[in-house]
Amino acid sequence: MVYEIQKNFLLSDCTLLENLKKDNIPFRNSKFETFYTQITSNHSVKFQSFCNEFYKITKFNNSILE
């Protein structure tokens, strides 16, 4: 089992692309599909597909990490 700590940062798409180009970091545009389900107020499941690979991410909200 893998535990993921997730923190979201909001940047506009153009800012992100400009920074990648400026630093000469190669990138490509890819399509992700995501579906969320809420099990309880502290537990959710995210299903994600990318390049014909599928992932299931179980997420537990923990106020200690916020």
Residue 14: per-residue pLDDT: 75
Closest-CA residue to 60 (of 42, 41, 40): 42
C-alpha distance from residue 9 to each of 12, 16, 40 (Å): 10, 11, 25
d(CA 23, CA 65): 31
Residue 24: per-residue pLDDT: 92
Domain ranges of the chain: 28-65
Beta bridge partners of 49: 33, 54
- For 3-50, write each residue's pLDDT tens digit: 555 556 666 667 778 888 999 988 777 787 888 887 788 888 888 888
Q: How many CA atoms lie within 13 A of 27 on its CB side?
A: 13
